Amino acid sequence: MQAHDLEHDIDPIRVARLVNQLQPREMCFLRHSFTSEAATSVLHFALKQSSAVFITVTEGELTEYQDAINELAVRGLAGICVMSKTSPEKYANRFIESHVDSGDLRIIELHSKAKALFGEKLEIVFEFSVEKDMRILGATIDRLHKAGVPWIHFRLTAEPTVDEIKKMRDLFEFLRMRECFYLNVYFDLSSEFRHSWQIKTMNTFSGLTDVHIDLSNKCTHSCVFCGLYSPVARQLSAEKAGGKLDKYMTDLMRMEASAEKTLGILQSLPCDVQSLQFGGIGDPLMHPQAVDFMVLARERGFKVEVLSNMEYLEPADIEKLTKLGGKTGTEIRFIANISGGTYEQYKLTRPLQTEKAYEKVSRNVRLQKKKKKENNGVGAHVTLMYVINKLNIDGIAGIADLAIDLEVDDIWFKPMELHGDYTWKVMPDPKSDAAKVATNLRTAVEVLDKRKIKIFDRESCEQIIRESRF
Ligand code: SF4
C-alpha cells in the first residue's frame, strides 16, 4: 500500500519512482491536485501500474472536477476519498433527541450525490479528523457505512493527545453499539504516527496486519520433529489402528485450503495488511495453486512469506516467483526448512528422503539466488532454517558451509518445538545437550560472521551461546 500527497509534494519525480514499484492490485492513495500537470502525470502513471488507486479530494473538488474525475474513472481509478468535517452545532439536537437518522445530513447527502454522479464506477469513502464533538461524527460514520461506505480514513498530524485517545475510544465504542462490524477505520495510511494511534486508541476496526494462511497439510517429507509426518508419529498411529494409519491421521494429512475460499480471503483482506505467511501442517507448496496465491498476494502489495521444505518448486515457478520481488529484497521470502548441511546430516532428520530430494532442494535454493542475481537483485529472499533437534546437534557447525555455498540471505537456528505427544523423543535435552548446542552454534556463528551471512533472530541465538540454555 502506498500513500502520497501530490498537492504538496514538491518532487513528483520522487513520487513517480515510488509509484513505479506499485503492484498490479496494490492500494494507492494520492492527494491529487487537479491544477498541476506534474501531479496529473504521476496519477496517470499510477493508474497504469495499479487497479486500486484512490484520489483524495475536498468536498468542493468532488463537484467542481466532476468531468476530470469521470475521465480518471475511465482510466481505471478505483475510488475517491472525500475529506470532510461534520457540523455538530447544526445537528446536535437531532442526535440528543435520538433521531434514527441523526448524523450530519449534509455529508450523508453528499455521499448520495457522489454515488449518483459517479454511479457504480467508483468506490466513495470518507476522510475525517478528530473533532471537538465526536457524537455527530459517530452517527455520520454509522449512516455512511449503512449506505455502503466500506471504510473511513482518519488524517493525523501528530501523536494522539489524551483527549484524542479518549474521543477515538468513545467513537469505536459507539460504532460497536451500532453494530458496524464490517466497517474498517484506518488511521492515516501515510503517517508516521499511525502505529501509535492504532495502539493507543485500541482500534479494532483496522483489520489485520499480519496474516497466516494454512494452505496444505500434505507433505512427502519425514522430519523427525514433525507432528504429522515423522516416522514415529506414523508408527504410533499405525500401532493404534492395527497396522494402518488411523483415519483421523489420514484425513488430516489430506486436508488443504479450498481454492475458492483462499482467493476470496486474498481479495477481501484489508488494504493495510503488511505481511502474509503461507504455511500449513504440511508444506504450502503442495497446494496445486500455491504459486497463483502468492502472485495474487504480491499483486495486492502484501509481503509474502513461505515456510517450505523447498522440494516442490519447479524452475518455471521460480521464474514466476522471482518477478514478485521488490526493491527491499524481502517482498517475497522463503523460509527453507533444510536442517542439515550435507545429505548425511539431512537424512538424520529426514530418514525417508533420498539424495535426489536433497539435491532438488539445494538446486531450488541455488536457482532462486541465481535468478535474483540475473534480475538485478530483485527476487526472493531465502532464509535457511535449521531446526535444532537431538539428531542434528553435531551438524550445527556444518550448516554454515551450506549457507555459504547456497548464498542464502540469512540463516535461522531454531530450537525445535513440541508437535504431537511423541516428538519429545527428539527434543534436545535442555540440560545435557545445551552445552554442545552452544559450542556448535558459536562455531557456526563465527564462520557465518566472517562470510557476512546474517543470522535471523540473532538475539536468541546469542542467548543460547551465552547461557548454554534454550
Ligand atoms: S517438511 Fe514440514 S510438514 Fe513436511 S515433514 Fe517436515 S516439518 Fe513436517
CATH number at residue 279: 3.20.20.70
Per-residue pLDDT, 96:
64
For strands 2-5 and 151-154, give the pairing.
unpaired
Residues 126 and 257 grouped into a single domain = no
Q: Does ligand 1 have an atom closer than 6 angstroms to the CB of 280?
A: no
Q: Does ligand 1 have an atom closer than 6 angstroms to the CB of 223?
A: yes
Q: Which of 166, 183, 208 is the last residue of a domain?
A: 208
Pocket test for ligand 1, best of 214, 218, 223, 312 (most atoms within 8 A of CB): 223
Query: What cell numbers appear for 269 in the block?
Result: 483482506
Residue 335's Cα: distance from chain center in Å?
A: 15
Q: Does ligand 1 have an atom closer than 6 angstroms to the CB of 283?
A: yes
- Looking up cell 450525490, which residue turns up? 113
Q: Is the pLDDT of residue 128 over 90?
A: yes
Q: Is the pLDDT of residue 16 over 90?
A: no
What are the start-end ranges of the H helices in 375-423? 399-406
Residues 283 and 396 grouped into a single domain = yes
Residues 218 and 98 grouped into a single domain = no
According to DSSP, residue 23 is labeled -
Per-residue pLDDT, 6:
83
What's the CA gap between 377 and 301, in Å, rounded? 19
Q: Which residues of 29-50 are buried (b: 16+ CB within 10 A; e: fewer)?
A: bbbbbbeeebbbebbebbbebb
Residues 137 and 96 grouped into a single domain = yes
Contact between 394 and 440 under an 8 Å Cβ cutoff? The reply is yes
Residues 215 and 200 grouped into a single domain = no
The confidence band for 95, taking pLDDT boundaries of 50, 70 and 90, is low
Q: Is the pLDDT of residue 12 over 80?
A: no
What radius of gyration do the chain's Cα atoms show?
27
Per-residue pLDDT, 98:
63
Å from CA of 358 to ligand 1 middle? 14
Residues 261 and 337 grouped into a single domain = yes
What's the CA gap between 302 and 332, in Å, rounded? 9
What's the CA gap between 258 and 445, in Å, rounded? 42
Q: Does ligand 1 have an atom closer than 6 angstroms to the CB of 423?
A: no
Q: Which of 186, 208, 230 is the last residue of a domain?
A: 208
Per-residue pLDDT, 94:
67
Q: Is the pLDDT of residue 463 over 80?
A: yes
Give the closest residue (by CA) to ligand 1 atom 8: 226
Q: Does ligand 1 have an atom closer than 6 angstroms to the CB of 353?
A: no
Q: How does the average pLDDT of the chain come out, rounded?
A: 92
What's the CA gap between 455 and 412, in Å, rounded? 6
The confidence band for 67, taking pLDDT boundaries of 50, 70 and 90, is very high
Per-residue pLDDT, 97:
62
Q: Is the pLDDT of residue 127 over 90?
A: yes
| 6 compared with 51, residue with greater pLDDT | 51
Q: pTM of this prediction? A: 0.84
Beta strands (DSSP E) in 316-443 are 332-337, 381-388, 410-415
Per-residue pLDDT, 91:
74
Number of domains in the chain: 2
Tell me the per-residue pLDDT of 256-283, one tens digit each, with 9 for 90 and over.
999 999 999 999 888 878 899 999 999 9
Contact between 225 and 423 under an 8 Å Cβ cutoff? The reply is yes
The confidence band for 235, taking pLDDT boundaries of 50, 70 and 90, is confident
Q: Which of 185, 208, 231 is the last residue of a domain?
A: 208
Q: Is the pLDDT of residue 207 over 90?
A: no
Q: Is the pLDDT of residue 446 over 80?
A: yes
Å from CA of 304 to ligand 1 middle? 20
Query: What cell numbers appear for 176 in the block?
Result: 460497536
Query: What cell numbers appear for 189 in the block?
Result: 495510511
| Residues across the chain | 470
Segments forming the whole domain that contains residue 144: 2-208
Residues 180 and 257 grouped into a single domain = no
Per-residue pLDDT, 5:
84
Residues 451 and 418 grouped into a single domain = yes
Residues 202 and 306 grouped into a single domain = no
Among 301, 314, 286, which Cα is nearest to 371's? Answer: 314
Residues 366 and 391 grouped into a single domain = yes
Residues 290 and 184 grouped into a single domain = no
Residues 256 and 193 grouped into a single domain = no
What's the CA gap between 464 and 470, in Å, rounded? 6
For strands 454-455 and 332-337, give the pairing.
unpaired
Per-residue pLDDT, 101:
67
